[in-house]
Amino acid sequence: MAAAATEVDFVKLSPTQNMTVLVTSRHAVADYRSIAAQLLSAGHLQAEQVGFVRSASTLEAQVRLHMAGDEFCGNACMALAALTAAELGLGVDDRTDVTLEASGAEAPLTCRVERRDASYQCELTMPLPGPIEPYPFPGVDAGRSSLVRYRDAVHLVVESGRHDQALREQAQEVATRLAASAGAPVVGVMLYDPARQELTPLVNVPSLVSMVWERSCGSGTASVGAYLAATSGAAVRTSVHQPGGTMHVRADHGDRGVTGLRISGQVRVVAEGTAYVHG
């Protein structure tokens, strides 16, 4: 190890293959983005996102997650809940509730964790979206794409039966434009095929200069559920198939719109140790 390197303790987890590095050692908040940039790279740990584990600020929560880009991330929350349950010694077929604080979320969230041999099945209560409104997308019929707005994020859900390279390039262009206009820490473009219940998620975190076609996206899964509930005017419970596997969403709907959101998926711990980052 070079003398100038900083030691970073980490656990790498796979929430439906949305590879997530959780940093468990303490570091200055000002260094989060530079640490994350190195850990994310192909020449290092290589992951789709990095979060930092911190002590909770309230008695209600057991732990806090702060994402490198200050964003909220549903899959990373489930990853931290699974890690917390593992550290508590959760036995096979046992379950527990983990309450955590998260960047981008105004209130603590609860995640039900059930251990299934080498993996953890997690169900997370998600923050509710604000307005869900039509937004045009090139080549898609009017009314088949909508913005789902959150406190710290904007997701564009686009219904399309084709997810070819031309559509992906259009999605990247739209994600760049939305990042410039919306001013949110994270922008997602969720290409959704309703006939096959398939989601191809693109996530743009401008502060990290990171635009990734993710293997799965928990927050995007929630947005698809919210979109389907808003457009149908009824509660929705559905599976969402993604490149990394299948997640599930339940969206409740009432007179005030979407009144509840929950997602579920499988989490595995795949590696842990010490990494070295250089200034």
pLDDT one-digit tens code per residue, 33-57: 999 999 999 899 999 999 999 999 9
pLDDT tens string 228-248: 999 999 999 999 999 999 999
Question: How does DSSP classify residue 234?
Answer: S
pLDDT at 174: 96
- What are the beta bridge partners of residue 8? 275
pLDDT for residue 1 is more than 70? no
Q: Is 65 within 8 Å of 101 (Cβ atoms)?
A: yes
pLDDT tens string 156-189: 999 998 888 999 999 999 999 999 998 888 999 9
What mean pLDDT is reported for the chain?
A: 95
CATH 3.20.20.150 fits 132-265, yes or no: no
pLDDT at 142: 79
| Domain 5-121+267-278 in this protein, CATH class | alpha beta
φ, ψ at 187 (rounded to 5°):
-125, 130
Q: Of 223, 196, 224, 215, which is closest to residue 268 (Cα–Cα)?
A: 215
pLDDT for residue 3 is more than 60? no
pLDDT at 75: 98
| DSSP string over 73-108 | -HHHHHHHHHHHHHHTTPPTT-EEEEEEEETT-SS-
For residues 195 and 233, what is the distance between their CA atoms, to the nearest angstrom? 19
Q: Where in the chain is the domain with CATH 3.10.310.10?
A: 5-121+267-278, 132-265
